[in-house]
Each structure stands twice: as structure tokens, then as C-alpha cells.
Chains A and B, each alone.
Chain A
Amino acid sequence: MSTLTREGRATGDRRPRPQHEDQRRDRRRDDQVPDEGATPPGQGPDAGPLAEMGSPQRGRAVKDAVARVVMWGAFGVVMIPLVWILYTVVSRGVHLLLSSTWWTNNQRNINSGDVGGGARHAIEGTLMMAGITAVIAVPIGILTAVYLVEYGRGGLARAISFTVDILSGIPSIVAALFIYAVWVTTFGIERSGFAAALALVLLMIPVVVRSTESMLTLVPNELREAAYALGVPKWVTVVKVVLRTAFSGIVTGVLLGLARIMGETAPLLILAPYTKNFQRDLFSGNFPTLPMMINQDRGDIGLAAAAERMWGASLTLILLVLLLNLVGRIIARAGSVKT
């Protein structure tokens, strides 16, 4: 799993390596580095030759020990709040998730002080919104990345790369204001799930472009060259060879991007007001989503029922994101081409 994860998330900053294959093998072996195996000099009898390294050997050993303690300590310190957060959400939210109606009902006629009802409307809404966002953002993102890697040179490519950078810097609230100005102020169309999805598209495109781009550049040139040598047209090469090879990485990137936008709240606040009812129409009416459900119940946090619902919805959202990640990994593993 860890190999796949790394591959899926490979940052672009890896130093160029001669061969794709080698990298994998390296990484795999990498895990087996004996951590404790290397005797720190200064402790062993054969520390002598190292004297010319300058520092007193005792000091070096102490430094090493200190570093070890610091790393363990840092891990411990960081895990405290993170585990605390998970514990808070799970302990306060889990029993709602186990109730019979949570996965089947909506919140219709459940006032903020009442218990009961479910989160199905919001779960469906969140998934629908993520779906429509992906349908728009993924093709544009992948094609843009294809352009940058396979076609683009010169001014236009540089301009696109630059604008993708800008796009990745847009705060979600600004993206939402932009869509509001276009959608509502200029065209006078009503707010809806779709309008919010458009704002999310703006946030998702740069994620998809960058992840796809880094995956495409990992595809060995030999594959392209072989295809061209066989007289395969360029577009077929890109679709059947390059994209096929990079498939798993692209899917992982897309799903991580989706996980990111599913938790966004600011665009929903401005573009897709919450409803307690089922809503399967993306184009009109209020739209239920989990972040908005959390936000709504946050307003009545003094009421036990509302607070409980808020944690339940939080846990549900985390589980959805987790599920997406898992699906992404399964797809990545299944779809990766063994070259």
C-alpha cells in the first residue's frame, strides 16, 4: 500500500532519475533500511578513523541520541491533538450513525431541538455535488495537463501553467463570490447545488491538473517513442499509452481532489443554502450537504440534539472522505500498469 501511496502522491520535486523501474525497486528496498543496524560511531570500537570528522565522538553520539528522542517526542506531541480530534468526533458522533434512521431518513420536520431523522439527504447531496464537480473539472483538468505535457510549448503553455498556479491560489470564498456575481448578480439565476459545484470546479481544476501533470511526466519516454515508431498517431498514443500508463496516479489525484472539495463550506454558504429535505434537483432549490448540515447545527450548539447531529454529520463526512480514499487506492492498485 505504501508503495502505491507514494506513487500516487509523488511530488514533483523528486530528482530526475534515469529509470522509472529503478525508482520503484529503490523505494521498495528503502523500507528495509536497517534503522537500528548502524552502530553509531563513538560507541563502537572502530570509531577511530572518524576522528577527522572534527566533532568529539561523544558529542556526536549524544547528538544522535538527542535527535532520536526529539523525533519520538515530536511524533508523540503531534499525535496527541490529532488522536484527540478523532476521538472527539467518533465518541460524540458514532451512536447517531448506528441509529436506524441515520442512513435512510432526512431531517424534514425535525426541529433543531428534536432528536431523530437522518443524514441521508446530506450524504446524497454531498456525493451528487462531488459527482457533478468531477464531471466538469476532471476532463478539463486532465486535458489541460495533457496539453502541458504532450503538446504545449512556448508562450501558451507557460501562460496556462502560470494561470493554473494562480487558480490554485484562489481562496474558496473568493471563488464563491465570483460565481455569485456571475450566476446571481449578472444572470439572475437562482442559487442551487449546481452553482456551488461551479465554484468547487474552480477549486478542483488546479488539483487535477497538477496531479495529472506529475503523473504524465513519470511515463517513460520509451513508451511514447515505441508507439510513434510503430506509426501510432499521436492522439492514440496519448490516450492508449500515456494516459493508460498514468491511469492509477491520475485516479488517485482526482479522488484526493474530490476529498478536498467535499469538505469545503464557504462556497456552499454563499451558493447552496441548506435544506432538511431530500433534493435531487441540482439546478433549483436549496441543496443539502454535510458541511452545511454541520454548519446549521453549529448554530444551535447549546441543544444536545443539535450538537449530537453536528458530530454525527462530521463523522459521516470523514467516513465519506475515507471511503473515497480507499476507493482511490483500490482503483490505483487495480489500474496500475505493470510495465
Chain B
Amino acid sequence: MSSVTGVPTVNDGEGPDGQRVPQADRASTGRLGDRLFGGAATASGVIVIAMVTLIATFLIIQAVPALMNNQENFLTSRVWSPGGEEPGFGILEFLWTTVAAATIAMLIAVPFGVAVALFLTQYAPAWMRGPAAALVDLLAAVPSIVYGLWGLITFAPFFKPFQGWLESTFGWFPLLAQTGITGGTILFIGIVLSIMVVPIVTALSREIFGQTPLAHKEGALALGATHWEMIRTTVLPFGRPGVISAAMLALGRALGETLAVTFLVSSLPNGAAWTWSLFNGGETFASKIANNAAEFSSPTRTGAYIAAGLVLFVLTFAVNSIARIVIERRKAFSE
């Protein structure tokens, strides 16, 4: 699972010791086997490039004509009526729902995930570590549709009263204003998503924390640091890049989650008033596309949804890139 981070270990074939992997071009004797194997490896790489180029081309070819016909501002409009004589569609609402739900998920999942990872590596009694870690690993592999079902059937009835209490107590605060949406609010989606991604954050953070050099930890303790100070000064700094990449992977998952969100979310009718409230409904990019995939009947209609998919794609890619840049920079500092 760790490998999905989208954050490569190395740049341009740097070895584990920071040296370049010997390329051994001289060792190559130009034999057929060498040429075939090297060719196959290169071809695979080229296939990957070709696939991505194809996908990008396809998305853009389908999206552009629809965008040209669009009567609304694609980025700032909340209208979504991609069919008809005068198609008009904007993604503002999906963007808000997607980002808000994913942010809530991150705000909950990252602190808790990291804390549990610290617990499992630094605090838990030895007998507990193995089983608890195995449990977390198992949960990281539970399909997201199962989390969705649990959210819909088991968790929602417990969450509703809590939401009602929040609404009536903190309703004066714009983010928690009452909207009349009963289930499937942005906050609810965010919480279910956070439960879905906590095991991912924990599993990946645990690995990196477990690799903190013993010398660092012993050094800190020898200087008289408390257990917590040792963690703060050695384990956390050492694990930070790993935590960032774990968080980014989790964020990618939260942004792109499709089916669970589709059946959890409450969508809004046309012309619903804008509110910042997290107790509002809405659709995420992925749920909007999945919920309407059945109706991709005309090129314009399809193009509008593809354009929305493109935005989700760019959003996820941006997240990955930022993670990568942050980690590269930290690497540069620590070396």
C-alpha cells in the first residue's frame, strides 16, 4: 500500500546509499539478450507514457467542445444543466463539497492516524503491537464500499442526533449553520472518509516511525529527554516526510472516493441557496459522475462530466505534486 504514495523513493536511479546505481553500460556487450531486455524495459516505460497521453487526450478532446458551448462560467458557476439547447454548467459546488469533505477527513485522520502510529511504535506494550498493527493493516485493505455501507446503515443513525445537537448549539457559526439537510451532510461524509483513511495514515506512518534510528532515540534519552520529548525531537522529525506522503495518499483516496460517497451524500436540488455550512449536502466530483454515468447520452452532456472529471484529476495530481515537492525539499535539507 505504501507504494501508492506517488512519491518515488529516488530520483534518477539513486541507490540506497545516495550513490547512483551503476549503469554498467560498458558491461553490456551488446548481446541480443541485453538489447531485448533493455528494449522491453524501455517499451514498458513508453507504454506508460502513451497511456497517460491517450487518457489526457481523450479527456481533453471530449471536454473541450462542451466547454466551448458552456453558457456559464465553468469554474465559478453553481448551475449544472449540461444538456439542452443552451448547456450551462459550473463546478463550484462540487469543488466545495469535494474539498470540504476531504479537508475534514484530513483534519481528523492525520492527527489520529499519526497518534495511533506513535502509540503502536512508541507506547504500546510489546504484546499489543503485533496484533494491533495487523488489525490496522487489515482495515487499510477493507474495500471502501464496506466503509460506505457501515456509514449508511450502522453509523448514520448514531450521527444524526449528534448533528442535531451541533446544529442547535453552534448554529450561529456559519460553518455549522442549520440547513435542513438530514443525513449525508458534508461533515458526515468527511467523518466517514476519515474513518476510511485513518488506517492508511496509520499503516504508513507506523512503518516510517519504526525506522527511526535507535541512536537518535537513545541520544535523546541520554540527554535526559522525557519519552515525549524524545518522540518530538527524533521520531517526529525523522518520520515527517513519510507522514506527509501518507497524508497525501489518504487525501487522494478521500478526493476520489466514488461509490461510498454516492450512496451516502445528500444532493441538493436545483437552485438551492448557497451556504458555507458543513451541514449542507452536495455532491463531490466522483459521486456526481458516478451518479449520472447512466445518462451520458449526448456529447455535450458527456463532455461536461468529463470536464468535471478532468478537474478532479488535476486536483489529485496537484496534491501528489505538492507532496513530492515538500518531500524532496526536506530530503535536500536532511542530507
Take A10-B2, A143-B40 as given contacts and tell me if A177 and B226 are in contact as well, using a CB distance cutoff of 8 Å: no
Q: Which residues of B contact A151 (CB under 8 A)?
A: 23, 38, 41-42
- List the one stretch of B25-33, B70-78, B161-169 in contact with chain A: B25-33
- Are A211 and B2 in contact, with the CB atoms below 8 A? yes
Q: At the interface, yes or no: B286 with Cβ under 8 Å from chain A?
A: yes
A139–B129 Cα distance when bound, in Å, is 35
- Are B286 and A173 in contact, with the CB atoms below 8 A? yes
- Are B4 and A235 in contact, with the CB atoms below 8 A? no
Q: Which residues of A contact B203 (CB under 8 A)?
A: 9
- List the one stretch of B9-17, B81-89, B173-181, B270-278 in contact with chain A: B9-17
> Could you tell me which residues of chain A, from 138 to 166, have a CB within 8 Å of some CB in chain B?
139-141, 143-144, 146-154, 156-161, 163-166
Q: At the interface, yes or no: B58 with Cβ under 8 Å from chain A?
A: yes
Q: Which residues of B contact A143 (CB under 8 A)?
A: 40-41, 43-45
- Are A38 and B221 in contact, with the CB atoms below 8 A? yes
A145–B90 Cα distance when bound, in Å, is 39
Instruction: Please encode chain A, from 5 to 45, with 1 for each CB lying within 8 Å of some chain B CB and 0 for all others.
Output: 11001111111111110010011011101010010111000
Q: At the interface, yes or no: A187 with Cβ under 8 Å from chain B?
A: no
- Are B293 and A35 in contact, with the CB atoms below 8 A? no
Q: At the interface, yes or no: A209 with Cβ under 8 Å from chain B?
A: yes
Contact of B58 among A149, A156, A157, A178 (CB under 8 A): A178
Q: At the interface, yes or no: A228 with Cβ under 8 Å from chain B?
A: yes
A23–B242 Cα distance when bound, in Å, is 17
- List the one stretch of A115-123, A219-227, A279-287 in contact with chain B: A219-227
Q: At the interface, yes or no: A314 with Cβ under 8 Å from chain B?
A: yes
Q: At the interface, yes or no: B204 with Cβ under 8 Å from chain A?
A: yes
Q: At the interface, yes or no: B241 with Cβ under 8 Å from chain A?
A: yes
Q: At the interface, yes or no: A265 with Cβ under 8 Å from chain B?
A: yes
**Which one of A26, A169, A236, A314 has the greatest number of beta carbons of chain B within 10 Å?**
A169
Q: Which residues of A contact B119 (CB under 8 A)?
A: 71-72, 74-75
A307, closest chain B residue (CB): B153
Instruction: Please encode chain A, from 60 to 104, with 1 for each CB lying within 8 Å of some chain B CB and 0 for all others.
Output: 110110111011101101100110111011000000000000000
Q: At the interface, yes or no: B69 with Cβ under 8 Å from chain A?
A: no
Q: At the interface, yes or no: A260 with Cβ under 8 Å from chain B?
A: yes
Q: At the interface, yes or no: B187 with Cβ under 8 Å from chain A?
A: no
Q: Which residues of B contact A160 (CB under 8 A)?
A: 45-46, 48-49
- Are B48 and A140 in contact, with the CB atoms below 8 A? yes
Q: At the interface, yes or no: A106 with Cβ under 8 Å from chain B?
A: no
Take A35-B122, A140-B44, A294-B149 as given contacts and tell me if A260 and B1 are in contact as well, using a CB distance cutoff of 8 Å: yes
Q: At the interface, yes or no: A128 with Cβ under 8 Å from chain B?
A: no
A49, closest chain B residue (CB): B224
Take A150-B41, A209-B48 as given contacts and tell me if A33 and B309 are in contact as well, using a CB distance cutoff of 8 Å: no
A77–B113 Cα distance when bound, in Å, is 11
How many chain A residues touch B (CB < 8 A): the figure is 143
Take A29-B214, A171-B258 as given contacts and tell me if A253 and B123 are in contact as well, using a CB distance cutoff of 8 Å: no
> Could you tell me which residues of chain B, from 158 to 209, have a CB within 8 Å of some CB in chain A?
195, 198-199, 202-204, 207-208
- Are A171 and B116 in contact, with the CB atoms below 8 A? no
Q: Identify whether the interface residues of B are mostly helix, strand, loop, or mixed.
A: helix
Instruction: Please encode chain B, from 316 to 335, with 1 for each CB lying within 8 Å of some chain A CB and 0 for all others.
Output: 11011100100100010011
- Are B3 and A257 in contact, with the CB atoms below 8 A? yes
Q: At the interface, yes or no: A53 with Cβ under 8 Å from chain B?
A: yes
> Could you tell me which residues of chain B, from 233 to 258, have a CB within 8 Å of some CB in chain A?
238, 241-242, 245-246, 252, 255-256, 258
- Are B290 and A235 in contact, with the CB atoms below 8 A? no
Take A6-B210, A16-B16, A221-B17 as given contacts and tell me if A234 and B1 are in contact as well, using a CB distance cutoff of 8 Å: no
Q: At the interface, yes or no: A317 with Cβ under 8 Å from chain B?
A: yes
Q: At the interface, yes or no: A210 with Cβ under 8 Å from chain B?
A: yes
B324, closest chain A residue (CB): A165
- List the one stretch of A188-196, A318-326, A331-339 in contact with chain B: A318-326
A174–B311 Cα distance when bound, in Å, is 11
Q: At the interface, yes or no: A133 with Cβ under 8 Å from chain B?
A: no
Instruction: Please encode chain B, from 29 to 68, with 1 for each CB lying within 8 Å of some chain A CB and 0 for all others.
Output: 1010110111011111111110111111011001000000
Contact of B42 among A147, A212, A219, A236 (CB under 8 A): A147
- Are B259 and A234 in contact, with the CB atoms below 8 A? no
- Are A157 and B13 in contact, with the CB atoms below 8 A? yes
- Are A269 and B293 in contact, with the CB atoms below 8 A? yes
A149 to chain B, nearest CB (A): 5
Contact of B141 among A182, A294, A322 (CB under 8 A): A322
Q: At the interface, yes or no: A244 with Cβ under 8 Å from chain B?
A: no
Q: Which residues of B contact A327 (CB under 8 A)?
A: none
Instruction: Please encode chain A, from 167 to 208, with 1 for each CB lying within 8 Å of some chain B CB and 0 for all others.
Output: 111111111011001100000000000000000001001111
Q: Which residues of A contact B17 (CB under 8 A)?
A: 16-19, 220-221
Contact of B18 among A16, A205, A224 (CB under 8 A): A16
A161 to chain B, nearest CB (A): 6
Q: At the interface, yes or no: B265 with Cβ under 8 Å from chain A?
A: no
Q: At the interface, yes or no: A130 with Cβ under 8 Å from chain B?
A: no
B287, closest chain A residue (CB): A173
- Are B123 and A235 in contact, with the CB atoms below 8 A? no
Take A140-B48, A147-B42, A167-B48 as given contacts and tell me if A218 and B16 are in contact as well, using a CB distance cutoff of 8 Å: yes
- Are A263 and B8 in contact, with the CB atoms below 8 A? no
**Which one of A30, A35, A81 has the greatest number of beta carbons of chain B within 10 Å?**
A81
A130 to chain B, nearest CB (A): 12
A252 to chain B, nearest CB (A): 9
B225 to chain A, nearest CB (A): 8
Q: Which residues of B contact A146 (CB under 8 A)?
A: 41, 44
Q: Which residues of A contact B31 (CB under 8 A)?
A: 233
Excluding A17-B16, A64-B228, A166-B56, 5 further A-B contacts by CB distance (< 8 Å) are: A148-B8, A174-B309, A175-B55, A221-B16, A233-B31
A-B contact pairs, 13 of them (CB 8 A): A2-B130, A53-B224, A74-B119, A78-B115, A85-B139, A143-B41, A169-B320, A214-B3, A233-B33, A234-B34, A263-B143, A291-B143, A314-B145
The 10 closest A-B pairs by CB, nearest first: A263-B143, A12-B9, A211-B3, A74-B115, A235-B37, A143-B44, A171-B256, A67-B228, A64-B226, A147-B41
